[in-house]
A and B are shown apart, each in its own frame.
Chain A
Amino acid sequence: MSQLKHHEIQKIIQGLHESKVVNLDASIRQMIDPIAAGLRDPGAEVSLHVLCCNEYALVTGLQSGQIDEISSVASSIKTALNQIAATSKS
């Protein structure tokens, strides 16, 4: 397998960000430090995955809150509700 170029990696990661698989706006330190501290609980399962390779580290496994997820479809839902309102008036 040939090595990926930087722009290819960037495209993959951007896609993962847009699908909410990763959050590019959070630093790796912000994600890793608290989780490592939490592992003082023996038996706690690791809920995130860290993939490291030359020059890149990819952290996945964290999920956003409910309202955050809804914000991605909010305007579409509002449009739907407006359509219901328009239909009801006709």
Chain B
Amino acid sequence: MKRDSLAVSAYDGTTSRSRPQLIAFLLSALDSARSGIKCLDTHNAIWQEEIDPVATLADKIVVETLLFVMLARRIRELPDAVHASLDGICSACNAWVRNPKNTLLLTRHPHTAVTLGIGHVALSQSGCIDDSFDRLVRKAFSSGRIHAIERLPYRAMEVLWLKSQVFQQPVAGFPELLPASLLVAPAHPVYMTEADCYALTHALMYLTDFGRVGLPPSVSPLRLKRLLDSALAWNILGENLDLLGELLMAHVFIGEPSSPYARFAWHMLAATWTQFGFLPCPSLDPKQYQALRGDEALAYAFKHTYHTTYVGGILCALLLDPPRAVTVADDSPANLRDFQPLADKLDEAIAGAQRFIETRDTPWSAGAEPVEEASGDALARVILRMTECQTLNNAQSRQWAKVLSDAPVSHDELALILSDGLLIHAAKEYELGVLSRVLTDRTRGDLPISTTFLEAAEFLADQQLPNGAIGAHVMADEHDAALLPVELTKTTALALASVCNFLRRQAA
């Protein structure tokens, strides 16, 4: 399959629109980078913000800008005008990286070679050579002192990746880091934080050299794809465009960009970028911005748009020239997991719930409750449940109405994406009533079983207390009336019964 058609079929069925759109976005992001770097002195004086003891926000922006340049240069057959733009950015960044302050840092604290090294390598790969600085970076590796501090697994992978770039050869050591990494952990967004999502995307960046190297055998591409899709569903509902962009990059790294979750996430990103002319960072606060004037407002605008705009730009660069061929994994529900153990677990939870209820109320059975008929189609039901969620208000958003109305996915695919997102959101916000209702809706409709559906059901069962009540938060108030835990336990147990019966029907 030709590379052009890869980008087209993954994100847009219309040949004439996809590639020009990607190029336009990429150039817009590069323009933002170029102008931001030129004004960095002025803005830095306003921010006066340290990221860590050795780096300011401006230093961080320079490193990220140069990483963007490095990855943009990987696009084959890049027009000369774009190369010239990249050269201009490198020239403007050079003094921010190679200067007496950073030379002192590298000498005193060799571990800083990671942060400073990324910028240095990007400059070197662009033809901007500095042998003296290069010797210092290489020395940090050869002395071993670059490892002289404690690092998270994905940061340790970053060190290995940088080493491969500095010394221009493959580097050993990645397999030893995997056991501690989220890449092989039983992770799911129900249990993850935003920081964990970033750990996931960054681990994949360094492990695969931004898609150029395949996954090691111990990392399952299918399992990763499902995890990434779940994380996309979560962040689609959460409107975190920064993470959506990084998760989409991760899909490209593993050669799997074509899921409905990815297609909708791209649509959301592209629609927002087209409408706004930039991509907002999650940190952008409209009220804060409106209180600022002059240079302070300009500095704020750049600070709270640059990262997500860069992420968008890098994503476009990857889509324009995907580093690896797209593979279509067999993602049928039958391959998800054996449903029997989960159904047995749910049965036990239901039995425990029944015992608890009967100690507080009249005899009760999940099977004795009348079954409410599902009304409306799957998408309508999901949107109704979104309005029931007290910590989520997308259903009332005009922006959402616009994004949903011309989504490039089918009706059922959209229902699946939003339903998965809502299951994750309800579990994380502990809205067990909404969680129960969405799970029940899924058992009465035709949406496919997803990893998120199974994880959400297991999460709900795991909220059972030793006395059989379901809902750990009821322990917070010992003086609460018995009614609260009884009613909630009935609601959740009914949902678990629906799921249990549904799973047994699938397994049969």
List residues of chain A with CB under 8 Å of any chain B CB.
Answer: 23, 25-26, 30-31, 34-35, 37-38, 40-45, 47, 62-74, 76-78, 80-81, 83-85, 87-89
Contact = CB atoms under 8 A, between A and B. Distances in A.
A81 B302 contact: yes
Interface in B289-317: 289-290, 297-298, 301-302, 305
Given A42-B488, A73-B286, A67 B399 contact: yes
Given A62-B393, A62-B396, A42 B487 contact: yes
A64 B276 contact: no
A31 B384 CA distance: 11
B399 A88 contact: no
A64 B39 contact: no
Contacts of A31: 396
B433 interface: yes
Interface of B: 31-32, 34-39, 239, 241, 272, 275-278, 280, 282, 284, 286, 289-290, 297-298, 301-302, 305, 384, 387-390, 393-394, 396-400, 431-434, 480, 483-484, 487-488, 491
Given A38-B388, A38-B434, A74-B276, A83 B399 contact: no
Contacts of A73: 286, 289-290
Given A35-B388, A40-B433, A74-B276, A65 B397 contact: yes
A84 B275 contact: no
A70 B484 contact: no
B487 A77 contact: no
A35 B487 CA distance: 18
A45 B277 CA distance: 39
B34 A88 contact: yes
Nearest to B42: A87
A23 B432 CA distance: 27
Interface SS majority for chain B: helix
Given A41-B491, A62-B396, A80-B301, A67 B239 contact: yes
A35 to B, nearest CB: 7
B298 A65 contact: no
B39 A88 contact: yes
Contacts of A83: 298
20 contacts: A23-B396, A25-B398, A31-B396, A34-B387, A40-B487, A41-B431, A41-B432, A42-B483, A65-B394, A65-B397, A70-B276, A70-B280, A74-B276, A74-B277, A77-B284, A80-B302, A84-B36, A84-B298, A87-B35, A89-B35
B477 to A, nearest CB: 9
Given A35-B388, A81-B302, A68 B398 contact: yes
